[in-house]
Chains A and B, each alone.
Chain A
Amino acid sequence: MADDGFLVIAVAIDENIDEVRVLAENITYPVLMDPGHILTELYAISNVPAVVWIDEDGRISRPNAYEFGSDLLSEFTGRTRSAHFDQIREWVHNGAVPEDASSQIADLSEDEVAARLHFRLAAHLRRNGDEVGAARHFDAAAQLAPLDFTVVRAAMPLQGESPFGEEFFKILAEYEAAGTPFHGIIPASEA
């Protein structure tokens, strides 16, 4: 679809450039690094993957959706991407958007914003060798947004924990028990 005035822009909410390079191998569209999680603050993204459709004029045609919009990460999911791809083709060629595109996404709470700032500070302190200061702000972030994966799960590898370990599954269970509080559309097949 690259010839149709269409482009994928992938943003890694991540600071591990080596891991991202592996995921981005053979990908020809821009893959950007966002170690400070600027995007999660600007777009109220609370988990990945999150896909946003943006038109030629910079208007959001379909807000945050929990979709696998590219081949990135598809090996981890086993999820079919064909329905989403069909919808994207319809949008690119005919400007048609699915019904869920009119969904209103809830704004971040003050706590969720503050959690992002504490995370950014923690990651900065860690990069500068201040593990104690980093731990203090990772903890503050988790207190403020305990079910936000861009806060709690993203912190795991930065604190020497596995993002696929016991703690992740504990938080995932709490997230599901809370009704999957994702800031965005969860397509019916994924709900």
Chain B
Amino acid sequence: MTTITILGDEVATATGEWADGRPLVEPDALSAAVGWTLKPEGLCRDDQCVLVGDGSAIRVGDKLDLAAVANAVDQPTVVDPDAGIVVLGQPNATRQAALRDRQAPDFTLADLDGTLHSLSDYTGKKRLLVAFSSW
């Protein structure tokens, strides 16, 4: 067993193992790692469940492949077994809802003093979101 680092909105870790380049965890470690839980009806989060058929795409023996789980719920991944890291992207559907349906995706980021702000903290105001950089 080893520590798998999950690089998502935040950095999380899970105890698991790498097998043939696949990041595997016990089913009960899944929720803490990626926010989804495997139930009889599928992969579930809050009140949403995604069907996974017989689960063969995400199961390796009695373990679950973190990257395959993420992909099953339409979250892209990049894995680096040498570094022991799974990068967990944002759900593609969130961006597509922004582009197609004009729903502004919420996010939470720290300001220069470390205080967290979410876009949704300012619901009720018109907001000008400005992405900039020093480069």
Contacts and interface: CB of A to CB of B under 8 A. Distances in A.
Contacts of B98: 42-44, 60, 63
B128 interface: yes
Q: Is the interface of B mostly helix, strand, loop or mixed?
A: mixed
6 contacts: A23-B132, A33-B110, A49-B131, A50-B131, A51-B131, A60-B104
Contact of B89 (A50, A69, A116, A137): A116
Contact of A6 (B11, B90, B117, B125): B125
Contacts of A7: 122, 125-128
Contacts of A11: 109, 129-132
Nearest to B127: A54
Chain A interface residue count: which class? 35 or more
Contacts of B111: 30-33
A114 B130 CA distance: 23
The majority secondary structure among interface residues of chain A is mixed
Interface of B: 7, 9, 11, 76-78, 80, 82-83, 85, 87, 89-90, 92, 94-96, 98-100, 102-107, 109-112, 117, 119-120, 122-135
B95 A41 contact: yes
Contacts of A72: 130, 132
Interface centre among A43, A59, A125 (most CB of B within 10 A): A43
